[in-house]
Amino acid sequence: MKFLLAALMLASMALFGAPAWAHVVQATTSVSLTDIDPNDKPELEKALKSAVNDVLKTAIAFTPSLVALTDAQVIGERLYVRVLIADEDGERTLQELINGEDAERATKVRI
């Protein structure tokens, strides 16, 4: 009887429980350095903000609550920028991954 009750509870949770739709996106964009002096910080910052805003307007279909620059590399005449974008649920998910019980066993892998 207890098994049947547990099975019914699990089945009802599976049928009626709403899934959490967390959005987490990592996007890469680039900025041409041919017209920008890399030592002119205000100009470089303006170009980076413009590139990130283009990603936010064209690459995602949700309202972000987190936008983080995760990597930047100069290759040739271009600055390639990697951006992590998440909504509120995605931000919570990332925080749980960072602060979770298995955080000490987590291994950072750079691809």
Q: pLDDT per position in the chain (111 positions), as tens?
A: 556 555 656 555 555 555 567 889 999 999 999 988 878 999 989 999 999 999 999 989 899 999 999 999 999 999 999 999 999 988 888 888 888 755 555 555 554
- Quote the CA–CA distance of 68 and 49 in Å, as a whole number: 12
- Tokens linked to 68: 């983080």
Specify the pLDDT at position 82: 94
CATH of domain 22-101: 3.30.1660
What pLDDT is stored for residue 111 in this prediction?
A: 43
pLDDT confidence of residue 67:
92
What's this model's pTM, rounded to 2 decimal places? 0.68
CA distance 33 to 44: 9
End-to-end CA distance of the chain: 51
The pLDDT assigned to 1 comes to 58
Q: Which of 47, 50, 55 is nearest to 85 (CA)?
A: 55
For residues 56 and 66, the answer to whether their CB atoms sit within 8 Å is no
40-52 residues labelled b (16+ CB within 10 A) or e (exposed): eeeebeebbeebb
Total residues found in the chain within this entry: 111
Q: Quote the CA–CA distance of 25 and 61 in Å, as a whole number.
A: 11
Where are the domains positioned within the chain? 22-101
